[in-house]
Amino acid sequence: MKALFLPICLCSLALADEASEAEQFSDTGRILPVFQDGKYSNPFPIDSSKVSQSRKINIFKLLFRTKSSNSKPDKLLPAQYADVKKAFPEKQNGLHITWLGHSSLLAQIDGVRILIDPVFTNEVSPVPLLRSVRRFQKEAPVSADELPFIDAVFISHDHYDHLSAETIIDLAPKVGYFLMPAGVGSRFKTWGIAPEKIREYTWWQEGTIQGKSSQTLRFVCTPARHRSGRSLFGGNTTLWASWVLIGSEHRLFYSGDTSYGLHFKQIGHHYGPFDVAIIENGQYNVMWPNSHLFPEEGVQANLDLHGKYMLPVHWGSFELSTHDWREPIERVTRAAKERGVLLLTPQIGETRSFW
């Protein structure tokens, strides 16, 4: 009886595991945000395994940096000015991506012109007199005045390094729509942005926009594992997200700020493969392991998403953690090579095109 009982139990467990995995990738198994008492929270379990004894050391480094720290360069870094004609070519076909530093990007997807998390200011600290966070370059590679009409601006969350009031106000006259996670629209209304231009979404909600070119872009607000807030108090009253962008011929993914989780496999299952997966790579720390990706996790996320190319962002412009400013690109380059992932490493301001 014992010999018969064991195989039956193992078979039952295997079937249960298969059912559980199938459920995770079904429409009803999609990860949803938790909203309670006016605040959002991540539905992911907290991973405390990454927190080590170096936590106290990192807290000390974060609070008491010295000028000899390598967390920022000792002189301004070079950057090329963005060529708007290359970023937004007249031909409507193709995918054209221009990295503007940190997580700001221009993209033209099969004729539809978009901006992602635009921050054109040189300072991203909410309290620069107490703790300045300045751009590593002399200035952003493009200004709002230099840009043509933009069909849509996509926002991932409301942190200062992803959402600049000054930049949004400057862009507003030449933007069709501002698309953002739930709750962030209140920021835009405070800044005087016309309500008809503001659209808010929760995870897995889809929509379409028609560009000035008459081409159509389908988009999906997808999960991320992060947090929100623009002050020390009252955080997480707005949602954070990643974005899936689907043109007539090309697919683009943007991670926003996130740590690793099941959501990457779910997004890849429902919407992959992607021509390019734009994935955050920098400002990670053992003190906040559930808010940002470590470089090796970013490479795994690209594999989960079925990205043909991975474009690492969120590094090389601002000092928001204690790691060496060059470390993110060095680590992700090694990890990508080991895992066979094709990595894009454009200069800030450079456009890459895919046909």
Backbone angles phi, psi at 21, to 5 degrees: -65, -40
Nearest C-alpha neighbor of 348 from the set 303, 308, 324, 318: 318
Domain ranges of the chain: 76-354
| Mean pLDDT value of segment 13-29 | 67
Q: Provide the percentage of residues in the chain whose pLDDT is more than 70.
A: 88
pLDDT at 15: 38
Q: Is the pLDDT at 6 greater than 80, yes or no?
A: no
pLDDT at 54: 43
Collapse the DSSP code of 59 into the 3-class scheme (helix H, G, I; strand E, B; otherwise coil) and give the result: helix
pTM of the model: 0.91
| Mean pLDDT value of segment 211-240 | 95
Q: Is the pLDDT at 37 greater than 70, yes or no?
A: yes
The verdict on domain 76-354 having CATH code 3.80.10.10 is no
What average pLDDT does the chain have? 90
pLDDT at 9: 38
Helices and strands (H and E) in the chain: how many: 8, 16
Q: Is the pLDDT at 57 greater than 80, yes or no?
A: no
Nearest C-alpha neighbor of 194 from the set 215, 210, 173: 173
pLDDT at 47: 62
pLDDT at 68: 39
| Mean pLDDT value of segment 21-41 | 91
What single DSSP character describes residue 192? T
Task: State the Cα–Cα distance between residues 342 and 325, nearest whole angstrom.
Answer: 22
pLDDT tens, 58-101?
A: 555 555 554 437 999 999 999 899 999 999 999 999 999 999 99
| Mean pLDDT value of segment 11-35 | 72
Nearest C-alpha neighbor of 135 from the set 106, 174, 168, 164: 164
Terminal-residue alpha carbon distance, the chain: 63
pLDDT at 22: 81
Tokens in use for 205? 């909600």
What single DSSP character describes residue 162? T
